[in-house]
Structure formats: C-alpha cells, structure tokens
Amino acid sequence: MKKMVFISGSSRGIGLSILKKLLKENYIVIGTSTSDKGKQLIDKTIQESGGEGIGLVGDLRNGSETVKKWVEEINAHFGCLPDILVANAGITDDQLTLRMKESQWVDVININLTGSFLLSQAFLRNMVKRKWGRFIFLGSVSAFGNPGQINYAASKAGIAGLSRTLAIEYGSRNITSNVIAPGFIQTDMTDTISEDHSKQLLNKIPLGRYGRSDEVAELVSFLASENADYISGQTIQINGAMITS
C-alpha cells in the first residue's frame, strides 16, 4: 500500500525538492504553503508528475488553528492521516540578542518549534494505531549556537529535544523520529546572506560549496524508507564537513 507523507513548507526550497523526490518514489504527498500561489505550484507539481496528493494553504503562525484545518482537509480528502511527517517549514529573523524584539523571538519559535510539535501531535495517534510512523524534522547546524540567531538556534535545538523524546516515547510502536541538520543549502533562505559573509562561510566548508536541496531530499527519502527502520533518535548533519567551532 502507498504511504502518505505530509511535508510542511513545500512550495519552494528544500521542501519542494522533498516533495518532488517523494512523488517520484510513489508516495501520496501533501504539501503546504502560506499562499494560494504556493498551493497552486504544489498542485501543478503533483499533477505534472502523474502522482497523487494535494496542496494545502495555511500559516503556522496561527498554530493549532492551522493544524486543525489541515487535519480536517486531509481527512475529508483521503479519509485517513499521513504515515510520515516531514516538518520542514521554517523561517529566520536574525538580530543580535540585545536588539532582538520579543515578536521576532515568538514568531520564529512559533513557526519552527511549536509548529513542529503541533503537527507531530496531530499525526501521532494515527501512527500509534497503525504501529508504524516516521517523523523527520529539519533542524540546523545553528542549533549549536550562531551569532544573530538566538531565536532560530533555540528553535532548532528545541527540535532536537522534541524529536528524541518522540523516538523514546513511541519507539515501541515502531515509530522512528530523526532530525536532519543542514549546514548551508542554496535556497531563498540563504540568498539573503551578503557576498562577504558568504565567502567567510565557504572557507569553513571543506567541500567548498553550499549544499543543494535535492541532496537533503535524498536523505529524507532514505529516512522515510523501510531501509531506515533501525535509525531513530538521531540528528544527522548534512553540511559538507562544515567546521562549526
């Protein structure tokens, strides 16, 4: 039977690459965007692939309201909930700690961390009943701490704790939970980095380049597969051997 995967934030960047990869592998895919335009792009991608799935609109700033709406839409369309969650949607809003506004902290934590928690909780019961499930979270190398990113670093470090807790609580139900922690991947998120900063970053990456979103999608595809049955509670770095200290 085909497995169903939910990928938050799949209108562009890493999420879109994951959506395309999993479509090729015959999963039923559900992708999300904050805009109608993003949803249309997801629907078109699914249609052109000849695969099965739907695009949904929603903003994780609205927390459980959005997640509840998505759950209702998925149930109405498919009559069941996903077997696999890829919690990918995320934002940055950088500022040095002394200048960071509470609103910047709250937004990043709500979207990146609380959003991932609410999605996990919403799909967990179904996975427990089926005695099979996969949680795959997008963390970051910034979880180790990064200047100007106290909100983002805290959200991604939080995701590591969240994922490991799921792995421990629900391992007995054959549910695995892992974090993929990318270094620098060429997407809209990294396009805002200045040329000077980019040069400094590349000096810290022995492989001498940013990663590509399709390279992250390969790792997601492996972790989602039966071949990864015994990998759980891990954070897997994908960063070109980036020097983090």
140 scored as a contact of ligand NAP (CB under 6 A) = yes
Exposed/middle/buried for residue 196 (C-beta within 10 Å: 0-12, 13-18, 19+): exposed
- Choosing from 55, 90, 158, 240, the residue that interacts with ligand NAP (CB under 6 A) is 90
Cβ nearer to ligand NAP, comparing 70 with 170: 70
239 scored as a contact of ligand NAP (CB under 6 A) = no
Whether 152 is a known active-site residue: answer yes
Least spacing, CB of residue 9 vs ligand NAP, in Å: 3
Of residues 214, 192, 187, the one with CA closest to residue 12: 187
Alpha-carbon distance of 113 to 153, in angstroms, equals 11
Q: Which residues contact 133 (CB under 8 A, 6 or more apart)?
A: 83, 84, 85, 123, 124, 126, 127, 170, 173, 174, 175, 176
Of residues 226, 180, 175, the one with CA closest to residue 27: 226
Long-range contacts at 63-67 (CB < 8 A, ≥ 24 apart): 63/110, 63/114, 63/115, 63/118, 64/118, 67/115, 67/118, 67/119, 67/122
Least spacing, CB of residue 151 vs ligand NAP, in Å: 11
Residues 34 to 73 in contact with ligand NAP, rule: CB under 6 A: 34-35, 38, 59-61
- Per-residue binding string, ligand NAP, 163-202, x by CB under 6 A, is -------------------x-xx-xxxx------------
- Choosing from 40, 54, 91, 174, the residue that interacts with ligand NAP (CB under 6 A) is 91
Least spacing, CB of residue 38 vs ligand NAP, in Å: 3
Least spacing, CB of residue 174 vs ligand NAP, in Å: 26
Residues in contact with ligand NAP by the rule CB under 6 A: 8-15, 33-35, 38, 59-61, 88-91, 111, 138, 140, 182, 184-185, 187-190
